[in-house]
Amino acid sequence: MAAGIDQQQQQVMSMLDSFSFNEPVNILGSGGGGGGGGGGGGGGGNAPQPQQYMPGILGGHIPGMPGPFMAWSTIRTSCSATTAASGYVFRRSNNDIYVVCIRCIVLLRRTITSRLSGGVQFQCPRRPNHGLEGRSILLRANHFAVRMPGGTIQHYHVDVSPDKCPRRVNREIILCMIRSFGKYFSSSRPVYDGKRNMYTREPLPIGREKMEFEVTLPGDSAVERQFTVTVKWAGQVSLSTLEDAMEGRVRQVPFEAVQAMDVILRHLPSLKYTPVGRSFFSPPAQPHQPPQQHGQYHMESKLGGGREVWFGFHQSVRPSQWKMMLNIDVSATAFYRSMPVIEFVAEVLELPVQALTERRALSDAQRVKFTKEIRGLKIEITHCGQMRRKYRVCNVTRRPAQTQTFPLQLETGQTIECTVAKYFYDKYRIQLKYPHLPCLQVGQEQKHTYLPPEVCHVVPGQRCIKKLTDTQTSTMIKATARSAPEREREIASLVRKAEFSADPFAHEFGIAINSAMTEVKGRVLSAPETSVWRPK
């Protein structure tokens, strides 16, 4: 090897020396018979053999490539080209002719470039062929074509401090920030994924340095919550590259562009519905309300045990063979019903509400069953007028409200033990109807905050992540079973209701959704022939 080869050249050489290509690389010369070396071995007779691989073939692709070097044994030589033909590159040096397939040069160049940039990118294999057997049929798929704009969009990293807020709260914080700081956001419609990523069509007037915004979010009580939001420019996302990939000009699908489009199209539904994973849900219609969507809520949505079925839709952006698609499908999952906790107790214990008025304390088994179901749920109080403060249940007391005590500090500074029932009567003039029931312990366990069930209400929109009972599972299956025509009608109804053409955020980025399902060709295969073996 020639002396003076710099470090990058040596890196390229060592990488090429270890490659095993998944496509044949044609390195042919004018030499005669004899076996080639290693994996590049050729046949006998007049079969062309691997010769020196000249840098002129890759001229301009790898700057500074050193002089002639030998073909490596890991490069296969199974390309069929052996003579001059259209689409091949020729190079004459030392009276030898070298023929290299242009397709293989492109592969070699992409592989080297990918390795030098820090890693090999995944490339989807090309489809070998289309099926021919069976009878052709036209199918409608629940994929909707997405028209993409060209150009680039801006990507920003967002940090919210304190940083332990759920996505729903983070979205409220960012919306409050956009409204409060119109100087920076009035000319654009940012979209946000609820965590760290925010996108805008045009650059924000904050430059590329990070900027901090102090945001005040109204709370459930008189105490307002303070947050610090840091926004920093992260880079540009090219949508043109994604378009090139869909049209076959580039084999790598840029993940960052797909992610950006997914965030854009999910932003508005995240504000209108209750998001769970990649799906969006809305509460079932009440008995006095008409169904929100055709075909949905035609069955009883109650599952029992304080649970109910919520219907919604799954949405995701998917790259396809020729263009981007929006996949939409119906979805259903179990939520806790928004109801008074007294009714929740009755449903969990499978008792009528009237049975709870008999002033009999719950048995240990009943209390344990109720505790397992309500622990971790959020409830809101109903005895303080418009201020419906929310708490998370951490436990259920062993003793009922009429005997459960807690340390109460008087105005004189003296601390006494007071029962929950007496406190509510003295403080709010509320005579408890169910003093024999245990109290909910909310907040932190060491703070001894107890609430009678009758002044609590289950907060709506809480997904049930606990295992359903066999009866609930059966009810769920019956409520969500759909035939193919019903499913198609419901998906079409979902798309009409979504009104993608009126989505201001999609319009901001120049994205349009075709409201018609994509039609694809399918094949109905012939029934297989069966044979039965009968023993003699």
User: Where exactly are the structural domains of the chain?
Assistant: 7-116, 150-272, 374-458
Would the pLDDT of 55 be above 50?
no
In angstroms, the CA 334 to CA 311 distance is 9
Report how far apart, in Å, the C-alpha atoms of 536 and of each of 530, 532, 533 are: 19, 13, 9
Would the pLDDT of 248 be above 80?
no
Least confident of 80-94, 139-153, 162-176, 476-490: 80-94
pLDDT recorded at residue 121? 54
Mean pLDDT of the chain: 79
| Three-state DSSP state, 415 | strand
In angstroms, the CA 311 to CA 307 distance is 13
Would the pLDDT of 112 be above 70?
no
445 pLDDT band (50/70/90 cuts)? confident
Reported as half-sphere exposure (CB side, CA atoms, 13 A), residue 152 has a value of: 7
Name which residue leads in pLDDT, 74 or 384. Answer: 384
Would the pLDDT of 256 be above 60?
yes
pLDDT recorded at residue 59? 31
> Taking residues 456-478, what's their average pLDDT?
94
pLDDT recorded at residue 280? 95
Would the pLDDT of 317 be above 60?
yes
> Taking residues 410-418, what's their average pLDDT?
90
Name which residue leads in pLDDT, 46 or 243. Answer: 243
pLDDT recorded at residue 529? 86
User: Which residue, 378, 389, 54, is CA-closest to 220?
Assistant: 389
Would the pLDDT of 335 be above 90?
yes
Structure tokens at 136: 């052709």
pLDDT recorded at residue 122? 55
pLDDT recorded at residue 312? 93
Q: What is the largest CA-CA distance in the chain?
A: 111
pLDDT recorded at residue 7? 52
Spatial neighbors of 300 by CB under 8 A, at least 6 apart, are: 475, 479
pLDDT recorded at residue 260? 96
Least confident of 6-15, 277-286, 328-337, 422-431: 6-15
The amino acid at 464: C
pLDDT recorded at residue 224? 74
Spatial neighbors of 66 by CB under 8 A, at least 6 apart, are: 1, 2, 5, 9, 13, 55
> Taking residues 41-46, what's their average pLDDT?
38
pLDDT recorded at residue 80? 38
Yes or no: domain 374-458 corresponds to CATH 2.170.260.10: yes
Within 84-136, where are the H helices? 102-116
pLDDT recorded at residue 222? 53
525 CA to centre of own chain: 35
pLDDT recorded at residue 221? 56
Locate the DSSP E strands across 127-265: 135-141, 143-147, 152-161, 191-192, 197-200, 211-217, 225-238
